[in-house]
Amino acid sequence: NSMKNKDNQSAQESNPRCPDSSAFKQQKLPAWKPKLTASTVLSSFFVIGLFCLLVGICLILSARSVNEIQIDYSDVCLNCSKLRESSSNWDKECNCFAHFTLQENMPGDIFMYYRLQNFYQNHRRYVLSRSDAQLLGQDVNIQNSYCAPFATYPNGTPMAPCGAIANSMFNDTVQLFYYVNSSTAIQVPLLKNGNSWWSDKNVKFRNPTSYNLSSAFAGTARPPYWQKPAYLLDEKDERNNGYINDDLIVWMRVSAFATFRNLYRRLSRTNQFADGLPAGNYTFHITYNFPVTKFQGKKQLVLSTITWSGGSNLFLGIAYTVSGAVIVLAGFVIAAIHLKRRKKKTYFQRHPK
Amino acid sequence: MEGEAPPLPTTKMATTSPPEDGCICLLCEARLPSTKMAAPPSPYPGSASSMSSQASLASYLNGNKKPLDFTWEVKANDRAYHKQFKKKAAFCLTREKYADNAIRTAKYNVLTFLPLNLYEQFHRLANLYFLFVILLQTIPEISTLPWFTLLLPLSCLLLIRGLRDLIDDIARHRSDWVINSTPCEILVGKSFRWQKWRDICVGDIVCLRKDSVVPADLLLLSSSEPSSLCYVETADIDGETNLKFRQALLATHQELVNEASMAAFDGKVTCEEPNSRMHSFIGTLEWRGQKYSLDSEKILLRGCRIRNTEVCYGLVIYAGFDSKIMKNCGKIKMKKTKLDRLMDRLVIIIFVMLAITSFCLAVGAGFWAVKFHKEHSYLSALYETTSPAEQAFFAFWGFMILLSIIIPMAMYITLEFIYMVNSCFIDWDVEMYYPANDTPAKARSTSLNDQLGQIEYVFSDKTGTLTQNIMTFKKCCINGIIYAGSADSEHKPSAAGLSWNPYADSKAEFHDPSLLEAVLRNDDPVTREFLRLLALCHTVMVEEKESQLVYQAASPDEEALVTAARNLGYVFLSRTQDTITLSELGTERTYGMLAMLDFNSVRKRMSVLVRDPEGKIRLYTKGADVVILERLCEDEPARAFTQLALDSFAEETLRTLCLACKEVAEEDYAEWCKKHHEASVLLENRAQELDKVYEEIEQDLQLLGATAIEDKLQDGVPETIQLLKQGNIKVWVLTGDKQETAVNIGFACHLLTDDMQILEEREICEMLEAYWVSNNNLGSSGEPLCPVQQQPSGLRQGKMALVVTGDFLERVLGTGEKVKTEEGFWARRACCKARMQPAAESLVEKAFVDLATSCQAVICCRVTPKQKALIVQLVKRHRKAITLAIGDGANDVNMIKTADIGVGISGQEGRQAVQCSNYALAQFCYLQRLLFVHGRWSYLRICKFLRYFFYKTFAGMMVQIWFAFYSGFTAQPLYEPWFLALYNVFYTAYPVLSMGLTEQDVSAKRSLQVPELYKVGQRNELFNYRVFCLTFLHGTATSLGSFFIALLAFRDEVSSKATNDYQAFAVTVATSAFLSVIVEIVMDIKFWTVLTFLTITGSFLFFCFFSFFTQNFLVFRAAPSYFRFPDASRVALTDPYILCIVLLSVVVNTLPALTVRLLRAITSAGAAREKVRARDTRVAEKTVELQTHFRRGSLLRRSSYAFSHKEGYADLITKGASLRIKGSRNRPSLGAISSQSLQLTTREDVITTIPSSPRIFLKEDN
pLDDT in tens, A50-68: 999 999 999 999 999 988 8
Is the Cβ pair A334, B1158 closer than 8 Å? yes
B449 to chain A, closest Cα gap in Å: 16
Query: Structurally, how many domains does chain A consist of?
Result: 2
A124 in any annotated domain: yes
Segment A252-296, tens digit of pLDDT: 999 999 999 898 999 999 888 998 899 999 999 999 888 888 888
Residues of A in contact with B1136 (CB under 8 A): 308-309
User: What range defines the domain where residue A198 resides?
Assistant: 69-305
* Burial of B328: CB neighbours in 10 Å, binned 0-12, 13-18, 19+: middle
Q: What is the pLDDT of residue B1216?
A: 54
Confidence of residue A179 (pLDDT cuts 50, 70, 90): very high
A227 to chain B, closest Cα gap in Å: 15
Segment B208-224, tens digit of pLDDT: 988 888 999 999 988 88
Residues of B in contact with A292 (CB under 8 A): none
Residues of B in contact with A41 (CB under 8 A): 1154, 1158
Q: What is the dihedral of CA A55, A59, A61, A67, to 10 degrees?
A: 170
The secondary structure of residue B571, as a DSSP letter, is: E
Is the Cβ pair B1050, A204 closer than 8 Å? no
| Catalytic entry in B100, B199, B217, B461 | B461
Residue A102 C-alpha from the chain's centroid = 27
Closest residue of A to B1055, CA-based? A310
What's the mean pLDDT when you consider all of chain A?
A: 86
Q: Under DSSP, is residue B534 helix (H, G, I), strand (E, B) or coil?
A: helix
Residues A119 and A214 in one domain: yes
Closest residue of B to A196, CA-based? B1057
Residues A254 and A135 in one domain: yes
Chain A and chain B share a number of CB contacts under 8 A equal to 256
Whether B812 contacts B844, CB under 8 Å: yes
A282 to chain B, closest Cα gap in Å: 22
Percent of chain B residues past pLDDT 90, beyond the cut: 22
Whether B887 contacts B465, CB under 8 Å: yes
A125 in any annotated domain: yes
Is the Cβ pair B1060, A262 closer than 8 Å? yes
Is the Cβ pair A129, B382 closer than 8 Å? yes
Residues A324 and A214 in one domain: no
Q: What is the pLDDT of residue B892?
A: 81
What mean pLDDT do residues A142-164 have?
86
Is the Cβ pair B1166, A341 closer than 8 Å? yes
Residues A262 and A321 in one domain: no
Residues A200 and A345 in one domain: no
Residues A229 and A91 in one domain: yes
Of the candidates B245, B234, B243, B217, the one whose C-alpha atom is nearest the C-alpha of residue B301 is B217
Residues A277 and A207 in one domain: yes
Instruction: Give catalytic status of residue B691 as yes or no.
Output: no
A27 in any annotated domain: no
Is the Cβ pair B1147, A48 closer than 8 Å? yes
Strand ordering across the sheet containing B217-223: B191-196, B183-188, B205-209, B311-318, B217-223, B299-300
Whether B800 contacts B855, CB under 8 Å: yes
Q: What is the pLDDT of residue B235?
A: 67
Is the Cβ pair B1144, A111 closer than 8 Å? no
What was the ipTM of the complex prediction? 0.93
Q: Are strands B800-805 and B757-759 parallel, antiparallel or unpaired?
A: parallel
Q: What is the pLDDT of residue B335?
A: 77
Is the Cβ pair B1052, A199 closer than 8 Å? no
Residues of A in contact with B371 (CB under 8 A): 295
Closest residue of B to A331, CA-based? B1155
Residues A267 and A279 in one domain: yes
A86 in any annotated domain: yes
Q: What is the pLDDT of residue B1197?
A: 45
A199 in any annotated domain: yes
Q: From the list B1047, B1131, B1162, which residue is nearest A341 (CB)?
A: B1162
Q: From the list B144, B430, B1004, which residue is nearest A19 (CB)?
A: B430
B771 to chain A, closest Cα gap in Å: 47
Is the Cβ pair A26, B1048 closer than 8 Å? no
Best of A35, A48, A89, A123 to disrupt the B interface by mutation (most B CBs within 10 Å)? A123
Is the Cβ pair A313, B1052 closer than 8 Å? yes
Is the Cβ pair A124, B1048 closer than 8 Å? no
- The amino acid occupying position B766 is E
pTM equals: 0.81
What counts of helices (H) and strands (E) characterise chain B?
Answer: 46, 35
Q: What is the pLDDT of residue B79?
A: 84
Residues A50 and A118 in one domain: no
Residues A282 and A267 in one domain: yes
Residues A231 and A181 in one domain: yes
A14 in any annotated domain: no
Other beta carbons within 10 Å of B1146: 24
A21 in any annotated domain: no
Is the Cβ pair A312, B1087 closer than 8 Å? no
Whether the upstream peptide bond of residue A107 has omega within 30° of 0, thus cis, is no
Residues of A in contact with B379 (CB under 8 A): 120, 123, 125-126, 164
Residues A126 and A233 in one domain: yes
Best of A4, A17, A267 to disrupt the B interface by mutation (most B CBs within 10 Å)? A17
- DSSP annotation string for B80-148: HHHHT-EEE-STT-EEESS--S--------TTTHHHHHHHHHTTSHHHHHHHHHHHHHTSTTT--S-HH
Q: How far apart are CA A274 and CA B471, in angstroms?
A: 107
Closest residue of A to B1167, CA-based? A345
Is the Cβ pair B377, A258 closer than 8 Å? no
A30 in any annotated domain: no
Residues of A in contact with B378 (CB under 8 A): 119, 126, 164, 167-168, 225
Q: What is the pLDDT of residue B459?
A: 93
Whether A267 contacts A273, CB under 8 Å: yes
Closest residue of A to B1159, CA-based? A334
Other beta carbons within 10 Å of B1119: 11
Q: From the list B375, B966, B1166, which residue is nearest A257 (CB)?
A: B966
With a cut of 70, list the residues of chain B below it in pLDDT: 1-69, 90-91, 235-243, 328-334, 486-500, 506-509, 554, 601, 772-798, 814-841, 907-912, 1054-1059, 1165-1262
Residues of A in contact with B139 (CB under 8 A): none
Residues of A in contact with B144 (CB under 8 A): 124
Closest residue of B to A137, CA-based? B1117
